[in-house]
C-alpha cells in the first residue's frame, strides 16, 4: 500500500512539475482567440495548430488545443492555436489567422528555429495551402485525417451523390435539406439500395462505384461507409463547401468487371458539376485553387482507411500531384486500419510527430505506406 501511495504521489508530482514548466497564454487578435503554450526550457521549435471544421453559423469558431498538447511541450516545443474568425469551411481565413498568431509569437518570444504547421481535417487544407503558397515560412507539416488535396473533397462528395442519384432514380441533387428530410429521402434510398453489406441489385452497382471513388478495397471500407452512407447523399454534406467551385467534369466512374452496365454510358449520363467561371482560379482565391503538389519541406500525414467524411482518396490524389511535381520525396503517408475521422488510437500521433521532428532536424526520412499500392497492405505497420 505504501509503495502504491508513493507511486501515485510521484505521478501527480511529475504532472504538476510538467505543467509548471509550461507557460500558457490566452488572448485575442482582432477578435480571434488564441492559445500559446511555451515550455520554460523552450528548444526553439514551434507548432501552429489548425483545427477541423466546426459547423456553420456566425461568430468566431471555438478555440481548441492540439491533440498532442502535452506531448509537444514535453519535448521542449512551443505551440500556438488560433480560433477562426468565422465558423464554416474557410481554410483561407484560418490561414490568415494562423499567420497573425505566428507574427504575434515572434514579437513576443522571438524567431523560432523551425515551425511546423499541424492541421487536422479542414486544418489539413490550410496546412497544405500554407506550404504551397508560403514555402519560406514553414519547415514541416503534420496532417491528420486531412483535406490534403484541398477543394477536390467537394468534387468527391458531389460525385458520390450524383452516382447515388443515378442508381436510385431519386432526385438527390435537386433537394434542399428541409425537403430532403421531409420526403425521407435517406429512408427511401436505403429501401431501394440497401445498406453496406446488405445491398440490393442497384446497391451493389453503386457500391462498386463508391469503392473506386474511395480509392479501392480499403481495410474497413464497408464499416466506414456505413457511418456516412446516407449523410454523404444529403445536401448538408455539400452545403458547407465554397459556392460555385465544384467540378466533376473530369471525374471518371469505374465499375470494374462483373456487371452488365456499360461504363461509358454511366459516365455520359451521370450528372456533372461545372464551376463558376474563375471560381477555382489562383487569382480568385489561391486556397481554393487546385493544389500543385509543389512542397519543399517534410510533410507527414496520417489517415484512417475507413474514413468517409474525408475519404482516404485525398491521400492518394495528393500523392499523385507530388509525383507529377517531382516532390514526392517530401511526403510520407501513414494509414491506420480503422473506422472513423480523426480518432486515432495508440501512439500513431505521437510517433508521427516525433518522426517528423527527427526528419526536420536530421534529414532522415521516416517510413510510410505506399498509398498507391495494394490497399490490403495499408496500415499494417502502424495498426495494432
E strand or H helix that includes residue 141: strand 140-144
Note whether 263 and 346 are same-domain residues. no
Q: Are residues 302 and 263 in the same domain?
A: no
| 146 in a structural domain | yes
Is the CB of residue 127 less than 8 Å from the CB of residue 318? no
**Where is the domain boundary, 243, 269, 295?**
269
pLDDT band at 58 (very low <50, low <70, confident <90, very high): low
- C-alpha distances in angstroms, 306 versus 332, 340, 366? 19, 6, 24
Where does a domain end: 234, 269, 304? 269
Q: Average of pLDDT values for 62-68? A: 92
Whether 177 has a pLDDT exceeding 90, the answer reads no
Domain end, chosen from 216, 237, 269, is at: 269
Claim to verify: residue 318 and residue 369 sit in the same structural domain: yes
Does residue 245 sit within a domain? yes
Task: Answer whether 232's CB lies under 8 Å from 310's CB.
Answer: no
Domain span at residue 217 reads: 152-269
The answer to whether residue 219 is domain-embedded is yes
Q: Are residue 208 and residue 256 in the same domain, yes or no?
A: yes
Residue 239 pLDDT > 90, yes or no?
no
What phi, psi does 80 have (nearest 5°)?
Answer: -135, 140
pLDDT of residue 350: 97
CATH number of the domain residue 363 falls in? 3.40.50.1820
- What mean pLDDT is predicted for residues 24-35? 93
Share of the chain above pLDDT 70, in %: 94
Q: How confident is the model at residue 383 (pLDDT cuts 50, 70, 90)?
A: confident
On whether both 156 and 146 belong to a single domain, the answer is no
What pLDDT was estimated at residue 7? 36
Identify the bridge partners of residue 16 per DSSP, sorted by sequence position.
none
Residues 259 and 295 occupy one common structural domain: no
Residue 88 lies in a domain: yes
pLDDT above 80 for 99: yes
Q: Is pLDDT above 50 for 360? A: yes
Give the number of domains in the chain. Answer: 2
243 and 318 within one domain: no
109-113: list long-range contacts, CB under 8 Å, 24+ apart. Answer: 109/38, 109/42, 109/78, 112/44, 112/45, 112/46, 112/78, 113/43, 113/44, 113/45
- Cβ–Cβ < 8 Å for 154, 241: yes
Amino acid at each position: 500500500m505504501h509503495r502504491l501511495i508513493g507511486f501515485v504521489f510521484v505521478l501527480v508530482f511529475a504532472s504538476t512539475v510538467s505543467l509548471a514548466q509550461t507557460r500558457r497564454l490566452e488572448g485575442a487578435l482582432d477578435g480571434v482567440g488564441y492559445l500559446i503554450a511555451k515550455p520554460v526550457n523552450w528548444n526553439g521549435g514551434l507548432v501552429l495548430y489548425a483545427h477541423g471544421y466546426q459547423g456553420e453559423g456566425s461568430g468566431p469558431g471555438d478555440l481548441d488545443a492540439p491533440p498532442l498538447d502535452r506531448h509537444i511541450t514535453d519535448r521542449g516545443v512551443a505551440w500556438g492555436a488560433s480560433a477562426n474568425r468565422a465558423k464554416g469551411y474557410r481554410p483561407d481565413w484560418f490561414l490568415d489567422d494562423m499567420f497573425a498568431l505566428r507574427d504575434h509569437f515572434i514579437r513576443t518570444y522571438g524567431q523560432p528555429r523551425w515551425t511546423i504547421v499541424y492541421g487536422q481535417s479542414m486544418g489539413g487544407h490550410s496546412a497544405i495551402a500554407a506550404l504551397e503558397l508560403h514555402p519560406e515560412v514553414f519547415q514541416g507539416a503534420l496532417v491528420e485525417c486531412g483535406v490534403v488535396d484541398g477543394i477536390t473533397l467537394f468534387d468527391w462528395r458531389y460525385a458520390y451523390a450524383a452516382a447515388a442519384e443515378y442508381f436510385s432514380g431519386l432526385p438527390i441533387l435537386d433537394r434542399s435539406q428541409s425537403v430532403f428530410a421531409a420526403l425521407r429521402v435517406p429512408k427511401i434510398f436505403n429501401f431501394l439500395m440497401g445498406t453496406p453489406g446488405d445491398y440490393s441489385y442497384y446497391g451493389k452497382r453503386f457500391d462498386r462505384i463508391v469503392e473506386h471513388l474511395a480509392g479501392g478495397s480499403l481495410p474497413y471500407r464497408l464499416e466506414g461507409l456505413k457511418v456516412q452512407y446516407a449523410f454523404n447523399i444529403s445536401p448538408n454534406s455539400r452545403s458547407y463547401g465554397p459556392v460555385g467551385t465544384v467540378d466533376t467534369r473530369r471525374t471518371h466512374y469505374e465499375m470494374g468487371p462483373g456487371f452488365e452496365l456499360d461504363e461509358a454510358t454511366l459516365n455520359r449520363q451521370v450528372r456533372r458539376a461545372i464551376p463558376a467561371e474563375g471560381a477555382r482560379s489562383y487569382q480568385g482565391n489561391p486556397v481554393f485553387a487546385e493544389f500543385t503538389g509543389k512542397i519543399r519541406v517534410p510533410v507527414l500525414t496520417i489517415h484512417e482507411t475507413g474514413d468517409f467524411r474525408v475519404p482516404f482518396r485525398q491521400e492518394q490524389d495528393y500523392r499523385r500531384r507530388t509525383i507529377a511535381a517531382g516532390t514526392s520525396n517530401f511526403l510520407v503517408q501513414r494509414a491506420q486500419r480503422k473506422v472513423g475521422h480523426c480518432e486515432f488510437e495508440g501512439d500513431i500521433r505521437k510517433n508521427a510527430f516525433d518522426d517528423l521532428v527527427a526528419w526536420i532536424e536530421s534529414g532522415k526520412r521516416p517510413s510510410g505506406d505506399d498509398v498507391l499500392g495494394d490497399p490490403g497492405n495499408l496500415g499494417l505497420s502502424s495498426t495494432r
